[in-house]
Amino acid sequence: MPSVNPFSYSEKIPTFNLRLVKQNKHWRHHQVEFPVASANCYHGGEIARGEYFEPLKNAKIPLAILIHGWGDHSVLPFKWMADGLLKRGIACFVLYLPFHASRLPDEMKPRLNNLTPDEWFTGYQMAVTDIRFIIDWAAQNDHIDKDKIIVIALSLGAFVSSIAMGIDPRIKAGVFIVNGGNSGKIMQLNRVSYLKKDYRLPEAAYREKQKKYAQYLIDIADKGFENVEPEQKSYLIDPLTYAPMLQKRPVMMINALWDEVIPQEASLDFWKACGQCERVSFPSTHASIWLWYPLIIRRINKFLKTALS
């Protein structure tokens, strides 16, 4: 049977357009544009965007791909984070997700909170493929150590990057902030009012869907996800589908104890499936996780010191 992999793309030479924004004696900062490599993308959204921060060092350096969550404002903490990583000699590529305003077609911007299932699926295809294409580009950059590529991502970005890490062994390590797996469980058990209204199912229907997804996970554990046709296309963009592929690889989860978006049950599902990786929870909600920014950075730095050694 043909491969079931929505994140495959035709190999081509990455053509990244870098525009220098700022430079000092320690680093360069570029705005970046590159063509979306995914087989499917939004009409009018064929160009991906981001920012690249490069330390001015002669030696080969690691690369951190930083990926924000829902909402353009969630990019800001990663720009702060990039400054600290640069001082540690780590290059940073801040990727704007396909759901970022700078990438969304004008027609989609007013209904960002009401995307169709197909549009969601396409956005995930684009985002995962963008990450893989950045790695293609990094492999051609003599300044980057291609064996030390990591992802650090928040919420929706963590969903996307955990999928990318699962299917692409070139990603050495991952830090996933306020993330989880099992999208059906997230939609059913979250405490966000509009999500509960629009997506919560009757208990019997929910349990039946969970039973079918659990069987799918058993099937792909036996045959590989590329060889099993899912009953629902959404299985292919669920982080839990790919979590077992992260076992025995450096992964850290940072969760919020009172997360109203990602229920603790969904975070634990991902944690167990990826081999019970390093995990820390802070007393916060989903959005207020950054109140613990200094401690989060300290934990990330400690993790990276081991993961990149």
pLDDT of residue 194: 67
What average pLDDT does the structure give for the chain?
94
pLDDT of residue 1: 41
The first and second tokens of residue 116, run together, are 């169709």
At 104, is the pLDDT very low, low, confident or very high (cuts 50, 70, 90)? very high
pLDDT digits (tens, 9 = 90+) for 280-308: 999 999 999 999 999 999 999 999 999 99
Find, among 297, 292, 254, 247, the residue nearest to 272 by Cα: 247
pTM over 0.75: yes
pLDDT digits (tens, 9 = 90+) for 183-203: 999 999 998 866 666 778 999
CATH 3.30.1330.10 fits 17-307, yes or no: no
Q: State percent of the chain over pLDDT 90.
A: 91
pLDDT of residue 58: 77
The first and second tokens of residue 132, run together, are 């893989």
Give the residue-averaged pLDDT of 142-161: 97
At 113, is the pLDDT very low, low, confident or very high (cuts 50, 70, 90)? confident
Report the C-alpha gap between 206 and 279 in whole angstroms: 28
Least confident of 40-44, 62-66, 213-217: 40-44
Least confident of 29-38, 64-73, 185-194, 216-225: 185-194
pLDDT of residue 192: 86
Give the residue-averaged pLDDT of 231-242: 96
Q: For every residue of the chain, which 3-state class applies, written as one string?
A: CCCCCCCCCCCCCCCCEEEEEEECCCEEEEEEEEECCCCCCCCCCCEEEEEEEEECCCCCEEEEEEECCCCHHHHHHHHHHHHHHHHCCCEEEEECCCCCCCCCCCCCHHHHHHCCHHHHHHHHHHHHHHHHHHHHHHHCCCCEEEEEEEEEEECHHHHHHHHHHHHCCCEEEEEEECCCCCHHHHHHHCCCHHHHHHHCCCHHHHHHHHHHHHHHHHHHHHHCHHHCCCCCHHHHHCHHHHHHHHCCCCEEEEEECCCCCCCHHHHHHHHHHCCCCEEEEECCCCHHHHHHHHHHHHHHHHHHHHHCC
pLDDT of residue 156: 97
Sequence spans of domains, the chain: 17-307
Give the residue-averaged pLDDT of 251-257: 98
Give the residue-averaged pLDDT of 152-176: 98
Q: State percent of the chain over pLDDT 70.
A: 97
